[in-house]
Chains A and B, each alone.
Chain A
Amino acid sequence: MEAAADPELQRFIEAETQKQRFQTLVHQLTELCWEKCMEKPGPKMDARSEGCFVNCVERFIDTSQFILNRLEQTQKSRVSFSENMAE
């Protein structure tokens, strides 16, 4: 790809990819949190729902970090376990 070698274009694509990753997750999270937080859409977004959406986003990211960490931990202990077995 000759076009990809253009540094300006490359920077642009990187920035847009980053932005798009953000947008994709916002779409996903809005859908997910909508199920959890929206009972019946009223004439205004009430404070309770608003707070629920914020918490929903925060806890989703916490969950993803927790899972990542725990997977890493179990992976590590498995490695040291097999290393011990090899000795």
Chain B
Amino acid sequence: MDGFGADFSVGGSSSGKVDTGAIMEQVKVQIAVANAQELLQRMTDKCFRKCIGKPGGSLDNSEQKCIAMCMDRYMDAWNTVSRAYNSRLQRERAKM
């Protein structure tokens, strides 16, 4: 990704002091975008594998239905994994 460093200068005031709040906003947005891209890429890969047996002349109706369900189940899976991992972390912390 280009422009990562360049974007930061936007938050700088005329005095040359960097605006911390603006930087934090920028970082948050960039992280959110990166996570969405990560999810999209993995979801596309997984659902393509599950739903497209033999690529035909178009995405037919049953393939589209399969992809739609697959997307929803992938999100469910993501949330389940996130919850399971989080609760494991809590338990590990309680042990210490």
Which residues of B are found within 8 Å of A19, using beta-carbon distances? 31
Cβ of A38 to closest chain B Cβ, rounded Å: 7
Q: A25-B85, A42-B73 are in contact. Are A30 and B78 (CB under 8 A)?
A: yes
Contact present for A3 and B85 (CB under 8 Å): no
Count of interface residues, chain A, beta-carbon cutoff 8 Å: 36
Give the distance in Å from the alpha carbon of A37 to the alpha carbon of B31 in the complex: 28
Which of A45, A56, A61 is close to B76, meaning CB atoms less than 8 Å apart?
A45
B67 to A, closest residue via Cβ: A41
Cβ of A13 to closest chain B Cβ, rounded Å: 8
Which residues of A are found within 8 Å of B23, using beta-carbon distances? 3, 9
Which residues of A are found within 8 Å of B73, using beta-carbon distances? 38, 41-42, 45
Which residues of B are found within 8 Å of A23, using beta-carbon distances? 35
Give the distance in Å from the alpha carbon of A14 to the alpha carbon of B71 in the complex: 32
Which of A8, A24, A33, A61 is close to B20, meaning CB atoms less than 8 Å apart?
A8
CB 8 Å contact bits of A43-54 with B (1 = contact, 0 = none): 101000110011
A12 within 8 A of partner (CB)? yes
Which of A3, A42, A57 is close to B81, meaning CB atoms less than 8 Å apart?
A57
Contact present for A30 and B20 (CB under 8 Å): no
- Sample of 24 A–B contacts (CB below 8 Å): A6-B18, A9-B20, A12-B20, A16-B27, A16-B28, A23-B35, A25-B85, A26-B82, A27-B35, A27-B39, A27-B42, A29-B81, A30-B77, A30-B81, A31-B46, A33-B81, A37-B77, A45-B73, A53-B81, A56-B81, A57-B81, A57-B88, A58-B84, A61-B85
Binding site for A on B (CB under 8 A): 8, 18, 20, 23-24, 27-28, 31, 35, 38-39, 42, 46-47, 50, 66, 69-70, 72-74, 76-78, 80-82, 84-86, 88-89
